[in-house]
């Protein structure tokens, strides 16, 4: 009796369809479409999920073949490269215990428990072994197996981390991937073979606790990246090198901005005088703007009773990020992770009428959040931080206008700070996650609708992030493009109907009855620590005049010129300018070079002529000779530059280029 093969219909992108025999693989479909797609496809999307090209297609459905031009294809490439890294390490260091090897933004890593320590000098040998594995073009084969069977296999192979992972998987069947002698527990998908890898690079080595737990073993983490082509890899490495030069930790040391002390503790940076100056300028700038906008600044303590955070809901939803309580007399106190409960207590100090609203309470509030040691980074990820924070208490009718005022304030600040590229994100709750988000659907819908209406009114485009909201309300996040080309959240505006209800906040309405106010939480320039780190990297340490810790340095040519320089430095300081004198007995060229390295905006050379004429020979950072002019005129112009917060170093009053050479200043 003749048997008929079952045939299925596949829907392809663009509205096309193809009929194939059930069991046909995605790779075979690619070959039928054309030789180019067969060469370039690396993975497939089959009815919404990513699968290997070797996956048999048993039922009809949607099929999309993905190349390395798509983010999903690049992710699969990097995931496969992580497996090749693990295989190479096992070959070079027998006895290595494997942990995990996920992809991350722009790359991947793999964690190892190695039989001996290794360092950056070992990476070239590992890369060479990876290249051999690529040359071998090993087929990468997916296998399905019983979970208990593979627990025993990995235990016998001396792979305790894989055993631990398997023991936590509820399914009876698990998937693994094999390439040559190497096999790893993995959901996949992967490239068809190791020979499909194009261009990769191992970048660094770091320590990482198993599962981020400081009580578990310290593993060796190897970071790497992979790209479609060598050209794209080289471009990425060039960007990394530029980011390395701008790294705020390195510049923070070189420019003497901040320090980290083991004696003080991890994640608790020390602000050195120059860094403290930048912070102070930022603080004064934002406080002055907020006062102009009708905010009332307050001071509240960084400690509070645990009960306060139980009322707010932070204890239930945010406890893992809080420090343990401390017993003081008969009270249980905790370091605050948020300022909002304190500002609510200020609002509750007296009754309020609708005539008073909105009430805008602001603070540079010191907070503490528990961060694991492995994620602490300079100023950008710390345990103690000061947030530019404010809470607006308003009527429901005032929400939209107050929200728009905050967005306009953010836009003004970004203009002053020189932020060129930023995007808006409406962070919403995930309706399916009732544990993370307060389960009050009507409240969420109302708050999200109001934010949308405000954004539409101001005419900004935005994307939506399901699940990105705070536990008690939706928010607008503003992400700014960093010096490394990544977008980081700097500002947040949040509409909150929940906390006023929890704390029983009230105001007397126009009808002489009690009503519930609405809160708007907002942070414009993030924490002082994070913003300073961001600006250090954005400007590569070469701050505009208004932010520079030292705006100008007088360089006396000889000892007899020091008193003149000191007198004008004092005059500048009386005007609020940040000036210094380099009084060292060093050659002028060296003084200029070191001032350039310290990224001082202006170098002010003074010699006999300048003393006689009450003038100064000006050099601009990175541009050399800027002319010769009366010192009082220079101070006037410097004041103007700082006051107007100009981002350039244009010196309108400078004249007679090259004249400074007569005072011993080398021509640039």
User: Scanning the structure block, which residue is given the tokens 């405000």?
Assistant: 454
- Residue 499 inside a domain? The answer is yes
Tokens representing 396 are 């429901």
pLDDT digits (tens, 9 = 90+) for 364-393: 999 999 888 777 889 989 999 999 999 999
- Here the tokens at position 240 are 């990394």
> Is 191 within 8 Å of 52 (Cβ atoms)?
no
Q: Based on the domain organization, do 621 and 527 belong to the same domain?
A: no
Which of 143, 140, 144 minimizes the C-alpha distance to 171?
A: 144
Coarse DSSP helix, strand, coil percentages of the chain, rounded to the nearest 5 percent: 40, 30, 35
Tens digit of pLDDT for each residue in 30-50? 999 999 998 999 999 998 899
Residues 44, 147, single domain; the answer is no
Q: What percentage of the chain exceeds 90 in pLDDT?
A: 67
3-state secondary structure of 288: helix
For residues 52 and 85, state if they share a domain: no
Assess if residue 155 is contained within a domain: yes
Structure-block tokens of residue 196:
């499909």
Q: Are residues 102 and 222 in the same domain?
A: yes
Are residue 275 and residue 364 in the same domain, yes or no?
yes
Answer for the pair 540, 245: CB distance below 8 angstroms, yes or no. yes
pLDDT at 557 over 60: yes
- If you search the block for the tokens 């009503």, which residue do you land on? 515
> What pLDDT does 201 receive?
97
pLDDT digit string, tens, across residues 589-634: 999 999 999 999 999 999 999 999 999 999 999 888 888 899 999 9
Number of Cβ atoms within 10 Å of the Cβ of 136: 12
SS3 (DSSP) at 497 = coil
The neighbouring-strand residues paired with 472 are none
Torsion of CA 153, 159, 162, 163, to 10 degrees: 60
Mean pLDDT of 506-526: 95
Among candidates 404, 383, 381, which has minimal Cα distance to 392?
A: 404
pLDDT > 70: what percent of the chain? 94
Q: For residue 44, what pLDDT is reported?
A: 92
Q: How confident is the model at residue 668 (pLDDT cuts 50, 70, 90)?
A: very low
Q: What average pLDDT does the structure give for the chain?
A: 89
Q: What does the pLDDT read at residue 665?
A: 31
Query: Looking at the structure, do residues 222 and 276 belong to the same domain, yes or no?
Result: no
**Do residues 52 and 196 lie in contact, with contact meaning Cβ atoms separated by under 8 Å?**
no
Boundary residue ending a domain (182, 212, 246): 246
pTM value > 0.85:
no
What total number of domains does the chain contain? 4
Strands (E), 270-420: 270-271, 296-297, 303-305, 326-328, 331-335, 359-368, 384-394
12-21, 32-41, 196-205, 270-279: the lowest-pLDDT one: 12-21
Which pLDDT band holds residue 654 (cuts at 50, 70, 90)?
very low
Query: What is the extent of the structural domain holding 411?
Result: 271-300+333-538
pLDDT greater than 60 at residue 436: yes
- CATH at 382: 3.30.930.10
pLDDT score, position 581: 95
CATH number at 11 reads 3.10.20.30
Is 218 domain-assigned?
Answer: yes
At residue 3 the predicted structure's pLDDT band, cuts being 50, 70 and 90, is low
Least reliable range by pLDDT among 263-272, 432-441, 578-587: 432-441
Phi and psi based region of residue 137 (left: phi greater than 0; alpha: psi -120 to 50; beta: remaining)? left
Mean pLDDT in residue range 195-210: 93
Residue 374 DSSP class: G
N-term to C-term CA, the chain: 94
> How is residue 524 written in tokens?
């414009």
Same domain, 235 and 286: no
């Amino acid at each position: 009796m003749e048997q008929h093969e079952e045939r299925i219909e596949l829907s392809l992108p663009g509205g096309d369809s193809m009929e194939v025999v059930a069991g046909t693989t995605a790779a075979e479909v690619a070959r039928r479409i054309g030789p180019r797609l067969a060469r370039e496809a690396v993975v497939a999307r089959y009815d919404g999920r990513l699968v290997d090209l070797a996956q048999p297609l048993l039922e009809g459905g949607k099929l999309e073949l993905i190349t390395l031009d798509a983010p999903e294809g690049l992710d699969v490439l990097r995931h496969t490269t992580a497996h090749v890294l693990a295989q190479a390490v096992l070959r070079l260091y027998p006895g290595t215990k494997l942990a995990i090897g996920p992809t991350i933004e722009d790359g991947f890593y793999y964690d190892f428990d190695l039989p001996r320590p290794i360092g950056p000098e070992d990476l070239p040998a590992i890369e060479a072994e990876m290249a051999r594995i690529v040359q071998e073009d090993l087929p990468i084969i997916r296998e399905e197996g019983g979970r208990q069977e593979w627990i025993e296999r990995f235990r016998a192979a001396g792979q305790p981390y894989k055993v631990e992972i398997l023991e936590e998987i509820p399914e009876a069947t698990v998937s693994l991937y094999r390439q040559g002698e190497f096999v790893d527990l993995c959901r996949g998908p992967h490239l068809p073979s190791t020979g499909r890898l194009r261009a990769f690079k191992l970048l660094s080595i770091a320590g990482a606790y198993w599962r981020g737990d400081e009580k578990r073993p310290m593993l060796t983490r190897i970071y790497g990246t992979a790209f479609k082509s060598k050209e794209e890899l080289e471009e990425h490495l060039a960007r990394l090198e530029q980011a390395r030069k701008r790294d705020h930790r390195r510049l923070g040391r070189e420019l003497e901005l901040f320090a980290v002390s083991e004696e003080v503790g991890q994640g608790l940076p020390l602000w050195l005088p120059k860094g403290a100056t930048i912070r102070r300028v930022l603080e004064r700038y934002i406080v002055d703007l907020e006062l102009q906008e009708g905010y009332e600044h307050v001071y509240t303590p960084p400690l509070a009773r645990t009960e306060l955070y139980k009322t707010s809901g932070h204890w239930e939803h945010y406890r893992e990020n809080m420090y343990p309580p401390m017993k003081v007399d008969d009270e249980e106190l905790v370091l605050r992770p948020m300022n909002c409960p304190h500002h609510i207590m200020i609002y509750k100090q007296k009754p309020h009428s609708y005539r008073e609203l909105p009430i805008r309470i602001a603070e540079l509030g010191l907070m503490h959040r528990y961060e694991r040691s492995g994620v602490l980074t300079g100023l950008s990820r710390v345990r103690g931080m000061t947030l530019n924070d404010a809470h607006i208490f308003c009527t429901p009718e005032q929400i939209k206008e107050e929200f728009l005022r905050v967005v306009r304030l953010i836009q003004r600040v970004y203009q002053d700070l020189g932020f060129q590229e930023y995007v808006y994100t409406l962070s919403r709750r995930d309706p399916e996650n009732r544990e993370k988000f307060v389960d009050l659907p009507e409240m969420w819908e109302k708050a999200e609708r109001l934010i949308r209406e405000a954004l539409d009114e101001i005419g900004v485009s935005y994307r939506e992030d399901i699940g990105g909201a705070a536990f008690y309300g939706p928010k607008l996040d503003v992400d700014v493009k960093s010096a490394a080309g990544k977008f980081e959240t700097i500002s947040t505006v949040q509409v909150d109907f929940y906390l006023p209800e929890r704390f029983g906040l009230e105001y007397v309405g126009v009808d002489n009855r009690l009503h519930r106010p609405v809160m708007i939480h907002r942070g414009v320039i993030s924490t002082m620590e994070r913003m300073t780190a961001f600006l250090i990297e954005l400007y590569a340490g070469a701050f505009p005049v208004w932010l520079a810790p030292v705006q100008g340095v007088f360089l006396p040519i000889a000892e007899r010129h020091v008193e003149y320089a000191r007198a004008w430095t004092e005059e500048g300081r009386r005007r609020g300018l940040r000036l210094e004198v380099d009084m060292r007995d060093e050659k002028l060229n060296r003084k200029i070079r070191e001032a350039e390295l310290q990224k001082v905006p202006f170098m002010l050379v003074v010699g006999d002529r300048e003393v006689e004429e009450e003038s100064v020979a000006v050099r601009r950072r990175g541009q050399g000779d800027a002319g010769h002019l009366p010192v009082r005129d220079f101070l006037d112009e410097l004041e103007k530059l700082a006051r107007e917060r100009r981002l350039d170093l244009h010196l309108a009053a400078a004249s007679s280029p090259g004249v400074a050479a007569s005072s011993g200043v080398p021509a640039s």
